[in-house]
Chain A
């Protein structure tokens, strides 16, 4: 990054720097490592997120071997895992549980959220609102490094005695209370990650509300900004209860308290000593009070990215922009009162279940409104099928499948059968993997020219897209079949010992080959990403002929972002305005009097 600026731009930047900041070029450490520039921090977040996505994916590929070929040594790397994890290359159940718990934790808290919120939010949001930086640049740096510490603690926990956390990404008590030391590391890591998110969300909200350019009213904000703003509110208000829960579980583990320990708990034939009278269900309530809004933290930025790309590549205004904005607000509000639909099977009363079932059905309405608006935006457009648009288009049906398969889980009667089966795994992976992650890929391809000044290769992009789309469905569609057959999601051997799983066991091999195929399909992306930084086709400041403010800034934007302070005269999606000479009108183009 920054290697390819032309000399004219460079001179302008130095002039700007000298006039506005009164300092010279910063040294390497301040510029690229401990930077306070939102663009550098955004890229740091994005790279960290991508690395953890890859790492979390590798954990899952190990699990997929175990599910497809239980009791057989893992080829190639099986011997490297050590006797504590896989003696003779055959995976131990404890290690399988570690992989499962850490795959979930890493993908959600260290992969998708850092990339979607930390990466895209940091890089794009200040540019789209026309701000010189985030409102609190130093706090922004601190947020990133807090995330980094949390990530390192999570990673290091694999090497602790007894291994990493192994009680699922939900860390249900009392199982997690009595788990090995890795669980303590998980809790401490989570506290770092939560702190990072909290400070980040304060920063995002203040930036979006306070640093909007002149003329950029709320209803002229690009939908991406709305999505990030609302996401930040979710993080701000939903994460603290999990922080509280984390502190309580830490106290249980370290100080011997019994917040989540019931009386007379028997472990390995012995009654656990302690005060007792704690409430294991309390953990679930506190956890899901975060983790349901967290679902929307995962999906809203993705919807924001897709909205930008759909409008840009259909060359049309978004259909129902205002309906989408109000829907996203309503969605956020409702997301705080649906959490117990994850807990229908815990024995709570039918009145409570009926309440949470009703709110769950209601929350599907705004999701459908947003998705319908995005679909309708395609109508009558002259669509450009470039790589970002392909990923964005694939997001729509994939998220649709994920969303619709969620309805039977939200209804108490059908949930009795489907709860804790592979159906659940299929459902939320459709939302997050071919849903959110596809949107994130779309965003990477779309904003790569802004970050580097060069475009990514279209050929390699399509080589990445089509196999990924196919393999995603090969992996996740059979999960619905297995789940409907009643296969539990938590079995170390994939269900070999259960007769009812027999007819659908063969699907495990198919899904596993799908997963390894998906890994191969990511190779073009990795090559494309690194090659294009240096060798990609040079991009202009506005390579996609887009309307929003980030494309007014130079590519890559200098420190301080804009050469002149932008002023906004119109809404975010003035595409194909009748009577205009071009098929797009940038937000900063003055209206003719």
Chain B
């Protein structure tokens, strides 16, 4: 017996295994980032001299990064939609773009980080920078993880398209759900760290 419900959903739950799995995984991610956001709130409300993010951090660069990441979410959807229209060429194009946007995000982030470190603004300087580096660092790790999955699906993983196209399309959808989540986390990080 092979494992069922890989390419078609189970009738009574209406889900494939991977779809349920990725949503559960995202639920645990919500708890992970939720705990860190709670930490942010507790540290900030308990602080006597909490600096404003916009005074220390580079808001234009972060805005640019927000645009880059949202664009990558759009291309991610286009990649999946291309597979739904049975167009592997278009999928390769859009998935490639998604990965490139990911790189773009990380490069901008690198410049931001190095500017901070250059000015002697370290995680140990104050609790704002501590939570800033922790949250954005953890988010960056998620970006790298998502990019690794996306790059795999763009490259060697795409072989599955020939034998089991529905399964491959589903995999792209799951990767997309994760990628959107990573995007969503940034949408929360951007205002609380840079603007408020």
Contact = CB atoms under 8 A, between A and B. Distances in A.
B33 to A, nearest CB: 8
Interface in B105-124: 122-124
B35 A257 contact: no
B31 interface: yes
Contacts of A131: 3
B123 A256 contact: yes
Interface stretch (A272-280, A433-441, A458-466, A509-517): A272-280
A132 interface: yes
The number of chain A residues touching the other chain, given as a range, is 35 or more
B123 A251 contact: yes
B20 interface: yes
B66 interface: no
Contact of A275 (B20, B42, B125): B125
Contact of A133 (B3, B24, B34): B3
Contacts of B48: 277
A20 interface: yes
A495 to B, nearest CB: 36
Given A202-B21, A241-B35, A255-B124, A279 B43 contact: yes
B88 interface: no
A20 B127 CA distance: 58
Contacts of B3: 131-133, 135, 137, 211
Contacts, number: 127
A198 B133 CA distance: 24
A139 to B, nearest CB: 8
A170 to B, nearest CB: 16
Interface in A226-279: 236-241, 243-245, 247-248, 251, 255-259, 274-275, 277-279
B2 interface: yes
A585 B43 CA distance: 60
Contacts of B10: 210
Interface string B121-157: 0111111001101100010000000000000000000
B35 A240 contact: yes
Interface in B6-31: 10, 13, 15-17, 20-21, 24-25, 27-29, 31
A192 to B, nearest CB: 15
Interface of A: 20, 131-133, 135-137, 198, 201-203, 205-206, 209-211, 236-241, 243-245, 247-248, 251, 255-259, 274-275, 277-279, 282, 286, 289, 560-562, 565
17 contacts: A20-B1, A20-B2, A198-B25, A210-B5, A211-B4, A211-B5, A211-B17, A236-B27, A241-B31, A244-B39, A245-B35, A251-B123, A257-B130, A258-B130, A275-B130, A277-B127, A278-B127
Interface of B: 1-5, 10, 13, 15-17, 20-21, 24-25, 27-29, 31-36, 39, 42-43, 46-48, 122-127, 130-131, 133-134, 138
- Across the A-B interface, the 9 shortest Cβ-Cβ residue pairs: A256-B124, A257-B130, A240-B32, A241-B35, A132-B1, A244-B35, A240-B31, A255-B123, A135-B17
